[in-house]
Amino acid sequence: MKAEIIAVGTELLLGQIVNTNAQYLSQELAALGIDVYFQTVVGDNKERLKEAIRQAQGRADVLVFSGGIGPTQDDLTKDAIAEVLGRDLRNDRPAMDKIAEFFADRGVPMTDNNKRQALVIDGCTPLPNATGLAVGVAISDEAGHHYIVLPGPPSELKPMFEAEAKPWLLHQVLTDEMPLYSRILKFAGIGESALEDKLLDLIDAQTDPTIAPYAKEGEVAIRLSTKAHDIQEADKKLTALEVQIQSRLPQHMYASEDVAIEETIVKMMADLGLTVSAAESCTGGMVMESLTTVPGSAAMLRGGIVCYSNEMKEKLLNVPHDYLEGEDAPGAVSREVVEVLAEQIRMITDTDYGLSVTGVAGPGYSERKPVGLVYIGISERGSETEVFELRIKGNRDTVRKRSTKTLLYRLWLRLLQAEKQD
């Protein structure tokens, strides 16, 4: 089954927004076993949109539209499809009621153009919009083409695809096929190509479940997918493969769901009743900022210190002056200093773990040390402090992010050990 994704909106052609919907829909369709051959973006112009629809009919079975179903006269997606199909538009009663209620609640008069959002194509399955006002559309024509119309805002498109369009595809279009079940596996401390290397024989031999890379910026993930009669059968197959993968990468696979490593860390620390703090130099707060993206992190992250200047390293973190300055001093970017930072922050904040990082983020050398040289440290109550030297290639942004990710990965490894001892 072949699909084409058609995004409608002049704002995309002007570059005012980026077409993230195409990525989301491509991933979702691929997971359903539907091949996307083309993605098209067209402006809010009915004739050009109709041209794009006719062209897509010639090369795809499933046409998925995003955008162009809002209240303005520029919103023409449903009109264009209805004209191509030779059908009428009609009002969807539940959508109409929802719009009326929305304006009544706010005590604002409803203007006529807002009614446009309740329009659907005659004979279609309306797709309710849980997070917005514009109703979606799913419809099949006599020639065997299937059309799905979704809103443009990702906050409306994603829930509508998940709750309405995907079930419609599964029940109305992919009827001959068994339902598809997926599982995301997340990895840290390993690159995409090294991961592929470790799993090469599994990837090459894959039939059921399938293994596919699952793209997320700055993260390494794969998606396992299988068709099964029910979720029990699917779970059995997915778990068998997951166990196999996990046994090859016990030091890297940190989750079997789509979560960031920060979330896994916060959950593990909460379960173990452990606390953490950090002393950050070149990352300027990024490690703590990452951990505090997770709700509930207040229970384990007590706080920490950003010691961007040597003065602060001395004053707030008791780094000996002769570590920092003088001819034979190891300098701020050194094993010696990162070790003191980790131990001191742990003692000052009285936490189970103390994290630290110091390095040359660039641009430009510092202390005659190269850009990308970074030291990270982990101090643990009653254990030796671990120190790692990193040599990161890339610009300031890359050096800071990679340092943060590596430190979190190392903390996760320590928590794995703590779990075993628990």
Within 70-129, the residues that bind a copy of itself by CB under 8 A are none
CA 290 → CA 185, 260, 286, 323, distances in Å?
A: 20, 10, 6, 29
**Closer CB to a copy of itself, 71 or 126, in the complex:** 71
Does 40 bind a copy of itself (CB under 8 A)? Our answer is yes
Q: In DSSP terms, which residues pair with 117 in a beta bridge?
A: none
**Closer CB to a copy of itself, 97 or 311, in the complex:** 311
Which residues from 43-62 bind a copy of itself, rule CB under 8 A? Answer: 43, 48, 51-52, 55, 59
Q: Which stretch binds a copy of itself (CB under 8 A): 90-98, 133-141, 144-152, 297-305?
A: 297-305
Does 154 bind a copy of itself (CB under 8 A)? Our answer is no
Q: Enter the tokens of residue 392.
A: 């990161």
Residue among 144, 363, 384, 420 that touches a copy of itself (CB under 8 A) = 363
Could you tell me the smallest distance in angstroms from the CB atom of residue 295 to a copy of itself? 5
**Closer CB to a copy of itself, 35 or 325, in the complex:** 35
Residue among 177, 257, 289, 325 that touches a copy of itself (CB under 8 A) = 289
β-strand 301-306 against 180-187: which pairing, if any? Answer: unpaired
Q: What would the x/- binding string for a copy of itself be over residues 172 to 211, using CB under 8 A? A: ----------------------------------------
Could you tell me the smallest distance in angstroms from the CB atom of residue 17 to a copy of itself? 6
Residue labelled with tokens 């003692």: 347
**Closer CB to a copy of itself, 119 or 301, in the complex:** 301
Which residues from 312-331 bind a copy of itself, rule CB under 8 A? Answer: 312, 315-316
Residue among 33, 37, 113, 123 that touches a copy of itself (CB under 8 A) = 37
Does 285 bind a copy of itself (CB under 8 A)? Our answer is yes
Q: In whole angstroms, give the CA distance from residue 177 to residue 382.
A: 57
**Closer CB to a copy of itself, 173 or 282, in the complex:** 282
Q: In DSSP terms, which residues pair with 220 in a beta bridge?
A: 187
Q: In DSSP terms, which residues pair with 225 in a beta bridge?
A: 182, 210
Which residues from 241-280 bind a copy of itself, rule CB under 8 A? Answer: 278, 280
Residue among 1, 24, 206, 388 that touches a copy of itself (CB under 8 A) = 24
**Closer CB to a copy of itself, 226 or 283, in the complex:** 283
Does 27 bind a copy of itself (CB under 8 A)? Our answer is yes
Residue among 130, 240, 243, 298 that touches a copy of itself (CB under 8 A) = 298
Q: What is the 3-state secondary structure (H, E, C) of the chain?
A: CEEEEEEECHHHHCCCCCCHHHHHHHHHHHHCCCEEEEEEEECCCHHHHHHHHHHHHCCCCEEEEECCCCCCCCCCHHHHHHHHHCCCEEECHHHHHHHHHHHHHHCCCCCHHHHHHHEEECCCEEECCCCCCCCEEEEECCCCCEEEEECCCHHHHHHHHHHHHHHHHHHHHCCCCCCEEEEEEEECCCCHHHHHHHCHHHHHHCCCCEEEECCECCEEEEEEEEECCCHHHHHHHHHHHHHHHHHHCCCCEEECCCCCHHHHHHHHHHHHCCCEEEEECCCCCHHHHHHCCCCCHHHCEEEEEECCCHHHHHHHHCCCHHHHCCCCCCCCCCHHHHHHHHHHHHHHHCCCEEEEEEECCCCCCECCECCCEEEEEEEECCCCCEEEEEECCCCHHHHHHHHHHHHHHHHHHHHHHHHHHC
**Closer CB to a copy of itself, 91 or 309, in the complex:** 309
Does 305 bind a copy of itself (CB under 8 A)? Our answer is yes
Which residues from 364-383 bind a copy of itself, rule CB under 8 A? Answer: 364
Does 387 bind a copy of itself (CB under 8 A)? Our answer is no
Q: What would the x/- binding string for a copy of itself be over residues 394 to 413, using CB under 8 A? A: --xx--x-------------
Could you tell me the smallest distance in angstroms from the CB atom of residue 19 to a copy of itself? 6
**Closer CB to a copy of itself, 363 or 382, in the complex:** 363
Count of positions on this chain that bind a copy of itself (CB under 8 A): 73
Does 17 bind a copy of itself (CB under 8 A)? Our answer is yes
